Chains A and B, each alone.
Chain A
Amino acid sequence: MSLEAEVLAALSTVLDPELDEPITDLGFVRSIEIDEHGVSVHVRLPTSFCSPNFAYLMVSDARDALRRVEDIGRVHVFLDDHHDSEKINAGMAADAGFRGTFGVEAEDSLDELRLIFQRKAHTAAMERCIEDRLKNSGLAVSDIYRLRLRNLPGGQFKEALLRRRATLGLDIAPDSSVFVDELGVPVPPDDIPLRLRFAKSVRISIEGNSHFCRGLLATRYEDEEDLATRITNTRLVTRSAS
Chain B
Amino acid sequence: MRTTPKWLFPVLALLPVLGLYGCIRVYPIIETLRLSLFQWNIISRRKPFVGFANFVELASDPLFLEAIFNTTIIAFSVVAITIPVALVLAALINTRQGLRRSGVYEASVFLPHVVSLVPAAMAWKWIFDARLGPLNALIGLVGIPAQSWLFDPVLSLVCLIVLCSWQAIGYAVLIFLVGLKNVPEALYEAARLDGASSFQAFRHIAVPLLKPVMLYVSVITLISSYNIYAQAFVPASDVQGAPGRLVRVLVLDMLENSFRNYRVGYAAAEAVVLLVIVLILTSAQFRLFRDRSRA
Do chains A and B interact in one complex?
no
